[in-house]
Amino acid sequence: MKILETERLMLRRLEPSDLDRLFELYSDQETRQYFPEGTLSYEETKEELEWFLNGHPEHPELGLWATIHKPTNQFIGRCGLLPWTIDGRIEVEVAYLLDKAYWRQGLATEAARAIAQYAFDQLQLSRLICLIDRRNQGSIKVAQNIGMTFEKKAWMKLGRTCCTQFKQVSNE
């Protein structure tokens, strides 16, 4: 089921058949180097996919979606909107992870921009964040490219590393 589409990308709900391709992404050390939990095993990837397939119990309109490169019809990542509770406040993160073969082509910015627009226009959210490892200059650039600005340093719930929290408010 298609969620949204850009010039070069189509984002759709994840399907069980995406497991092997998702595992390729999640098991790649370079792709996952800034994720606090690091790489995932096949079983961990399967558990995460099952969670995505069932949807968030409190926010079914949010989630991570298969990201398809339209020119090649290839599954190249998973992007979407993730709910978090940070400092007692519900936040929604614009999340993006693409296969490293597709880095530096503007695709993450294209996906993130469309996701933010969808969140503001369709879901009527008033605020979005990105949680980014402070060393991940590529992701920081994507957040800045879609209009996000530095808000504060934050601690990742799953990890020990400090990350940078960026924010975007719909009326800014």
Which one is predicted more confidently, 96 or 158?
96
CATH at residue 55: 3.40.630.30
Taking the C-alpha atoms of residue 99 and residue 107, their distance in angstroms, rounded to an integer, is: 10
The SS3 call for residue 89 is strand
Strongest mean pLDDT among 49-53, 152-156, 157-161: 49-53
Backbone angles phi, psi at 44, to 5 degrees: -65, -40
Domains: count for the chain: 1
> What is the reported pLDDT for 160?
47
* Structural domain boundaries enclosing 157: 2-169
Contact 146, 162 (CB under 8 A): no
Which is higher by pLDDT, 165 or 157? 165
- How does pLDDT run across 22-55, given as a tens digit for each residue? 999 999 999 999 888 889 999 999 999 998 887 7
pLDDT higher than 90, residue 118: yes
Terminal-residue alpha carbon distance, the chain: 31
pTM for the model: 0.90
- In this structure, is the dihedral angle defined by the CA atoms of residues 45, 50, 56 and 57, taken in order, positive or negative? negative
d(CA 18, CA 94): 21
Number of Cβ atoms within 10 Å of the Cβ of 3: 19
